[in-house]
């Protein structure tokens, strides 16, 4: 597969200098898209939902790019994510060597950083899959039913994530939320998918303890969960550190990529290592060097999307 991504005999992309150059190029394009569309929560949700289909027992699903397959995209919980795929497709077309799986997780990491979140190690080398996982693997946050919290914890056990990782990942809910109504109302789409006034912080945990997030209050009935919520509400530094580690683990669900420990390099080669350094030594400053072509593309996409939304179409 020359033009569409060179792979080894095992189906894994060859992560060489050319591949790393594609990652760097895609990174800049995604930054520009976020400047033009401000869809930070949308990209974050895409990365989460591609990875959270993993089943640690059967070793199926995970961060493999399969969310682009229509059968999986139609699953409950993936509404509106076709918009994220539509935004990212020109980036994939420009950097064909890059796998969808890598592009989706890279975009989620950039979204966190753009929102003022922590640096998250990115290790390239994910395989692409077109096999849609079974319906029902995504976590349900309808906490009104009996034993809902217990069932939710079981989902994260299936993913191979700990309760602590589950709780810390919940903090990203502060950045944006999704509602079924956002598929038809442009103003609600703007509010929930394009609002960057909220910055990455431990505000979710503070609000939860204050009773400001009524729908999530059942989480506090679990003593273990409540303990972590209290810790993160009291210590933003710890939250950001733990979030970075948990998000990195999420990006590697269903892959054979190595798990990175705190403070260690995300990669083995010096070429990829320079990529990680570029994130740690500078903030992502959007708009500093906007690529005109991408700007026009993103603006055109948004205009067409608003017309479709006003017509009540996706």
Residue numbers annotated as active site? 49
d(CA 104, CA 34): 14
CB atoms within 10 A of CB 186: 16
The answer to whether 84 and 39 have CB atoms below 8 angstroms apart is yes
What sign does the dihedral 144-146-222-243 (CA atoms) show? negative
60 three-class SS: strand
The DSSP result for 186-249, as a single string, is HHHHHHHHS--SSPSSSHHHHHHHHT--GGGGGGGGSHHHHHHHHHHHH-HHHHHHHHHHHHHH
d(CA 130, CA 162): 28
d(CA 182, CA 193): 9
Most distant pair of Cα atoms in the chain: their distance: 55
Helices 17-37, 100-114: inter-axial angle, 10-degree rounding: 50
């Amino acid at each position: 597969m020359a033009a569409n991504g060179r792979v080894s005999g095992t189906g894994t992309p060859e992560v060489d200098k050319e591949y790393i150059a594609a990652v760097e190029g895609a990174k800049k394009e995604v930054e520009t898209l976020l400047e033009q569309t401000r869809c930070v929560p949308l990209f974050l949700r895409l990365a989460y939902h591609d990875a959270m289909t993993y089943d640690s027992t059967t070793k199926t699903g995970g961060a493999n790019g399969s969310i682009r397959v229509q059968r999986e995209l139609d699953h409950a919980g993936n509404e509106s994510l076709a918009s994220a795929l539509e935004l990212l497709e020109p980036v994939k077309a420009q950097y064909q060597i890059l796998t969808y799986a890598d592009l989706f997780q890279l975009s989620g990491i950039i979204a966190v950083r753009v929102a003022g979140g922590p640096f998250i190690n990115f290790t390239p080398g994910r395989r692409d899959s077109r096999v849609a996982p079974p319906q029902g693997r995504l976590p349900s946050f309808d906490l009104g039913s009996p034993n809902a919290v217990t069932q939710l914890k079981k989902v994260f056990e299936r993913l191979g994530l700990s309760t602590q990782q589950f709780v810390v990942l919940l903090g990203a809910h502060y950045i944006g939320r999704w509602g079924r109504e956002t598929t038809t109302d442009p103003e609600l789409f703007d509010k929930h998918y394009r609002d960057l006034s909220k910055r990455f912080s431990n505000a979710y945990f503070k609000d939860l303890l204050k009773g400001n997030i009524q729908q999530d209050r059942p989480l506090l009935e679990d003593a273990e969960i409540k303990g972590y919520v209290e810790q993160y509400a009291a210590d933003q530094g710890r939250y950001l550190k733990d979030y970075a580690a948990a998000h990195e683990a999420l990006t590697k669900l269903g892959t054979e990529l190595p798990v990175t420990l705190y403070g260690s390099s995300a990669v083995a080669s010096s070429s990829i290592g320079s990529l990680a350094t570029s994130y740690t030594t500078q903030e992502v400053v959007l708009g500093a060097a906007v690529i005109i072509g991408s700007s026009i593309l993103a603006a055109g996409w948004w205009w067409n999307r608003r017309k479709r939304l006003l017509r009540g179409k996706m």
